[in-house]
């Protein structure tokens, strides 16, 4: 069973691009939300992570801030 993955991102964030490419390469489907375009998503991200920086991943409620391949793989069981 695949876990639900949400990526909070911006269009200018290189680490966001790296996270999305990493997930795609691993065959993980995810929802990408641009927080510069969606004020509600920005508020949701800050509430969940306590951070203004992106990327922020929400994997079934587990919050990962930044691009951390090892932690992402562990959480997804890859």
From first CA to last CA, the distance across the chain in angstroms is: 12
The H-or-E segment that residue 34 falls in is strand 31-34
Domain that holds residue 14: 5-76
> Cα–Cα distance between 78 and 76 in angstroms, integer?
6
- Neighbouring residues of 18: CB distance < 8 A, sequence distance ≥ 6: 67
How many domains is the chain built from? 1
pLDDT per residue as tens, the chain (78 positions): 579 999 999 999 999 999 999 999 999 999 999 999 999 999 999 999 999 999 999 999 999 999 999 999 999 999
Total residues found in the chain within this entry = 78
> Cα–Cα distance between 74 and 11 in angstroms, integer?
26
Residues 69, 22 contacting (CB under 8 angstroms): yes
pLDDT in tens, 26-39: 999 999 999 999 99
Q: Indicate which CATH number applies to the domain containing 72.
A: 3.40.30.10
């Amino acid at each position: 069973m695949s876990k639900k993955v949400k990526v909070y991102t911006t269009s200018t964030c290189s680490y966001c691009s790296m996270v999305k490419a990493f997930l795609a390469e691993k065959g993980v489907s995810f929802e990408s939300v641009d927080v510069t375009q969606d004020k509600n998503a920005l508020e949701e991200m800050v509430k969940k992570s306590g951070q203004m920086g992106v990327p922020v991943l929400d994997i079934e409620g587990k919050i990962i801030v930044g691009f951390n391949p090892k932690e992402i793989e562990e959480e997804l069981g890859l």
